[in-house]
Amino acid sequence: MKATTLLIFAALLLTLAAYWRTPEYDEAYSLFLTAGHARPVWPAGVFTAGSVRGFFSGRASFAAIAANLKSLDVHPPLYFWTLEIWRRWVGPSWFAARMLSVSFSVAALALVGRIAARTARPVLPAMAFTLLSYGFAYTGILARNFALAQVLALLGVALLLSAARRGRADRALAGGLALGAASFTNYLASFIGAAMLLWLALRRDRRPMLAPAAAGFGLFLVLFDLPFFLAQHAARPGQFAPFSWHHAAFLLVRDAGAALFGGLPLYAGAAAPLVALLLFLLFATCLTAAWKPDSSPFPLLAAAPPVGLLLLGLVFDSTPVEIRYLAFSLPFLGLFLAPLRGRLLAPLLAAQALAVVGLIGAAATMQPQAFAAHMAARHPGTLALVPFGNDGVGVPGPFIAAAPDRQQIELLRGPLPDLGAADRNIVLATPGADAASRASAATALAALLKNPCFKDKEEAATRAATLFADRCADQHRERNDQLSAIDPD
């Protein structure tokens, strides 16, 4: 009953986060791809947000989704096929797409509880740690493939644990297939599959389960993952910085801390280094207290994603370290730490709970595109200048989704359009979401500051946007009134 209560609480908490957090860059790719507009053809010049709502709805066939992913993206298709079916049933809204991930996350949490019970671990601490880990809650609401990959990976682990305990080859095969399906959802979930196969291989009594598990896992890797990966592996050159051990180690420490405790140091201002140090010491103490000889796969599974990311970066000369990727470790870290006593577990869970509150309500952890749209909406009649970005998806998508239908928008694809007689205020969105958007926003900002009509800001710039008041508007209206008086027609 207590586990059921925790699952209900988790569903409510994640639903609130899914509703409250602003739309994000990568989510736009999911929505446009499954709506049949992988790269929307936005109108040239000024248009209204309401006139392009159609790009957010529509349908795409499985074949079209697969073809677009092979030519334009770096992800396998299982999640996007699932999302396309979900949107047909539930609707095309951003929130509806996020609720699919919320459903998968609640199922993943239930599997954490089941695994804990089957391995004689405290159930509620394992589930609570997982739920309140910032990285799990964050990836658990996004309209991206993380939540589905997480639940499939946990299902595979649960089946293989059962197979190893009972000597059931059929369950080992099913576990391998589930882990393979996780990799066909997100390639990085294959680290979990590889770690489970290694765990089976390390002890003689578990080795009979290795062959069927490897067969199921390998089936997906060879027949499904490999064709997509070979078509995509060079699709986004320069997405990550070149590999460096020092840089990779720094990112691992920073993002692993963020996966556990979110943006807590960000809220502390000048005390941020002290807060970060205290959180590090708290976690290190908990990890040390929980460490003991253990035949479970949980330490291996928790270590697999960060080690896998380092190996991946070394092979491909990149540094693919992000909070979202490290989130695959969190349920297994929670299972490992579950036996902690209250005097250590309580402050750990309290710090995590504060981080999840920040996830829901702190602007510092949210992307700014929607905040720019909200600024424009507070000043009716303004023209919003929005960077086109790398490909017209991740920057315009969230802005337009958050803008009212009447909001006038122009996408910055090149030089700033002539605004000398705009006769309206201007909101310049400055999301900084990718290199292209940062460059176009900087160019537009410089041009507006040189324009005699816009050189004075009406209010200070925010992280999301800058509002420019048209100082020539009164002159324009006076001149028009004079012309009307001379020639009423």
Q: What's the gap between Cα 114 and its chain centre?
A: 26
Helix residue ranges per DSSP H, 364-434:
369-377, 396-402
- pLDDT at residue 224 above 70? yes
Residue indicated by tokens 């006593």: 341
pLDDT at 481 over 80: no
Within 8 A by CB and 6+ apart from 139, the residues are 101, 146, 147, 150, 323, 324, 327
Q: How is the beta sheet containing 426-429 ordered, strand by strand? A: 46-48, 408-412, 383-387, 426-429, 465-468
> Nearest-CA neighbor of 103 among 90, 93, 120, 116?
90
pLDDT at 486 over 80: no
Position 1 confidence tier, pLDDT thresholds 50, 70, 90: low
pLDDT exceeds cutoff 60 at 336: yes
Residue 364 is which amino acid? A
Identity of the amino acid at 405: D
Residue 456 pLDDT class (50, 70, 90 cuts): low
Q: Give the mean pLDDT of 402-419.
A: 87
- Least confidently predicted of 39-53, 58-72, 412-426, 436-450: 412-426
- Pick the range with the lowest mean pLDDT from 63-72, 83-92, 333-342, 431-440: 431-440
* Residue-level pLDDT at 264: 95
Distance CA 469, CA 429 (A): 15
Pairwise CA distance, residues 190 & 254, whole Å: 23
- What is the structure's pLDDT at 134? 97
Better-scored residue on pLDDT, 33 or 416: 33
β-pairing, 426-429 vs 465-468, is antiparallel
pLDDT, one tens digit per residue, over 342-382 is 789 999 999 999 999 999 999 989 999 999 999 999 988 89
pLDDT class of 416 with cuts at 50, 70, 90: confident
